[in-house]
Structure 1
Amino acid sequence: MAQDPMQHSVLIADDEAPARRELKRLLQEDSSLVLVGEAENGLDAYTKAMQLRPQIIFLDIQMPALTGVETAQMFLANQYHPLIVFVTAYDEFAVKAFELHAIDYILKPVHKQRFAMVLERIHEQLKEADPQEERSRLLRLVQSLKENSSVSWISLYQGDKIIPIRTDQIIYAEAFGRSCKVMTREGLSCTAYRMHELQAILSSVHFFLCHRSYLINLEYLESVELWVNSTYRLKMKYCDTLIPVSRNSTNELKRLLHLS
């Protein structure tokens, strides 16, 4: 049966069954919202969301397999922009980040008054849907929160499969037109990210933009070779590609590696 155009599909993702039950109970009070699925962990949430394409996702921050932020990051990689409401136990850092980037959130235990306020904002946002603005706000949030997490994830394309990988498995990324390919020990795979987006997500001390077309993980750097015009080429572990260093990036490389 086709969905009523006046209704909006919702997915709930939380590893705590009581929390899911409470969210379901509150959702039932709004006839314009239709629950299409539930998920118990981040990977389950990602899989079901990509299949069901709900317009709204209530996404718990702390879940096994993938955190809520890592799951949202994977949505970004696949050009999927649902309205996300993060659900979290009180975390001062996270709450400040949500408020700074105008991302909706609900604190546990969920209170009816706060839930009603969030639903009101959701309805306003659905009327003025702007996927690119939603993407930009979510990307900025991911950048802020990932510094508070030891591991983050992105998704790669291998044939007709979407494979989530930890970012610390990335050896380097290479720009290809309007997207990037990523090298891991398993080989080269495609992503939906542009280079500047990938650079923002991987903006840790271990990743270095050595050239406008190459972003490397310094943890996998094997050797540095002198090249033309006083620049360098980089040999990475587990692959044969020699990666150029642009003249603009040479001084920064010297600083990072303490080269004379």
Structure 2
Amino acid sequence: MTAGLSVLAVDDVPPALAELCRLLNENPDVSDVASAGDALSALRMIQNGRYDAVFLDIAMPGLDGMELASLLSRMNEAPVIVFVTAYEQHAVAAFGIGAVDYLLKPVRAERLAEALARVNRVIPDARPAPEGPDAMAALPVESDGRTRYVRRTDVHYVEAHGDYVRLHAVSGVHEVRMPISRLEEYWEPAGFLRVHRGFLVALAAVRELRSDSVGGLLAHTDLGDVPVSRRCARVLREKLLAAAKSGQLGRR
């Protein structure tokens, strides 16, 4: 049986730190939980030990969470970073540093489990890693205190919307806090193509290519038309031709 994760929780607010440690200890994927009340203490612990992941608050006195994460990103064997914060506005910067997830307080057990699953996917010796196409095969969507999961196979295209992406799926339009560039990394092996600065499209969902009123190219799906930039048009046509030859086109 593979050992569980060794995790360091960092927060300068003792009740928040205690609650995070409790949730981590209760998760079956975690075997060991350490804690630090400030970023400098956490840095020393990481330099003197080995942790698979750090669950890190952002707003802390002195060295803040973003600064600590930036320092950790330069290490040869850096732990995986998951931010845990009360502030939404740092999400883009967090993913830019390389964080695998961004949790908003108060953290729920099921949301924490999703973050730990992402940690496991990027740690080669923690659990058998899924092949590329299986990465993030479903995304959690939070609304009104509820979490539902949208399967990648139900999504026809993805639209960038500020700090979020909008998933256009058979079940409706769902917003997920994640930059489109990060989702592209996960979903490109599963047949999604970046066809525009603000759009990803599932090749299997494309029914045909159309011209718009000003001569631009559109990828038509059952859920709507997706704009295609000129520089992406050739690659899209080649991918669609290959998908048609292999029988993968129009399967959604």
Q: Distance in 2 between matches of 1:124 and 1:170?
A: 30
In structure 2, relative to structure 1, the CA distance for the partners of 1:120 and 1:245 (3 Å cut) is: same
Which of these residues, 178, 181, 188, is aligned with residue 163 of structure 2? 178
What code does the residue aligned with 1:235 have? H
Q: Deviations over 1:131-170 (max 9, x none)?
A: 5752516479747945356462211234442222222221
Q: Establish whether residue 168 from structure 1 lines up as the match of residue 153 from structure 2.
A: yes
C-alpha contact (below 8 Å) 2:157/2:200 kept by paired residues: yes
Match of residue 230 from structure 2 = 247
Partner residue of 1:234 out of 200, 219, 229: 219
1:180-199 alignment, distance < 5 Å? 180-199=165-184
Q: Give me the whole-angstrom Cα distance separating, in 1, the residues matched to 2:178 and 2:212.
A: 30
Residue 205 to residue 189, structure 1, CA distance change in 2 (3 Å): closer
Letter in 2 for 1:121: R
- Residue 192 (structure 1) shift: 0.2
Instruction: Report the AA paired with residue 14 of structure 1.
Output: P
Offset, 1:225 = 0.9
SS in 1 for 2:177: coil
Aligned to 2:60: none
What is the Cα deviation at residue 236 of structure 1? 0.8
The 2-side partners of 1:195 and 1:124 are apart by 24
User: How far apart are the structure 1 equivalents of 2:217 and 2:53?
Assistant: 53
Q: CA deviation at 1:122?
A: 3.9
Counterpart Cα distance in 2 of 1:5 and 1:223: 52
What pairs up with 1:128-207 in 2 under 5 angstroms?
130-131=68-69, 133=73, 134-135=81-82, 136=98, 138=100, 142=121, 145-147=129-131, 150=134, 152-207=137-192
CA contact (8 A) 2:132 2:190 kept: no
Indicate whether 1:11 and 2:25 are aligned: yes
Q: Give structure 2 stretches of 5+ with no counterpart.
A: 1-13, 57-62, 74-80, 83-97, 102-117, 243-252
Q: Which residue is 1:258 aligned to?
A: 241
State the partner residue of 1:120.
Answer: 49
Which structure 1 residue ranges, 4+ long, deviate > 6 Å from structure 2?
4-8, 123-128
Could you say which residue in structure 1 is the equivalent of 2:114?
none
Distance 1:122 1:254, change over 3 A: closer
Mean Cα displacement is larger for which, 172-181 or 125-134?
Answer: 125-134
Matches within 5 A, 1:82-101: none
TM-score of the aligned structures, taking structure 2 as reference length: 0.50
Number of aligned residue pairs = 163
Q: 1:3 to 1:248 in 2, by over 3 A?
A: same
C-alpha RMSD of the superposition: 4.3
Which TM-score applies when normalising by structure 1?
0.49
